[in-house]
Amino acid sequence: MLHINLHFGILALLLFLAFVAGFFLRSLNINSLRERVLELEREKMQDHAEILQLQKKMSEKQQDKASSPAATPVVALKENGQPDGGKNRLASH
């Protein structure tokens, strides 16, 4: 029968080293994820700022349109007083 002698100090040292290695790898992973979240937040803030600038430009253009006379002339399809050729008469007439 094969007997393996293992000292408890060596076993405790291996467990401690495994814990430290796992803790170190997990902390690296958490730091990289935290940096990614911060990057995405910065990108989101830039996108929101761009949207706000575009909305400001759009509202300024709408105010300019409202304050200035219409650039496109309005033309009536049918002038008042001209006969329509009998197209819009009621059946009882």
25 neighbors 18 (Cβ within 8 angstroms): no
Predicted local confidence at residue 85, as pLDDT: 63
Predicted local confidence at residue 7, as pLDDT: 87
Distance CA 12, CA 22 (A): 15
Domain chopping of the chain, boundaries: 39-65
Model confidence pLDDT, tens digit, residues 39-86: 999 999 999 999 999 999 999 988 887 777 655 666 777 766 655 566
Residue that wins the pLDDT comparison between 16 and 89: 16
Residue that wins the pLDDT comparison between 23 and 5: 23
pTM (2 d.p.):
0.53
Per-residue pLDDT for 5 more than 90? Answer: no
- In three-state secondary structure terms, 36 is helix
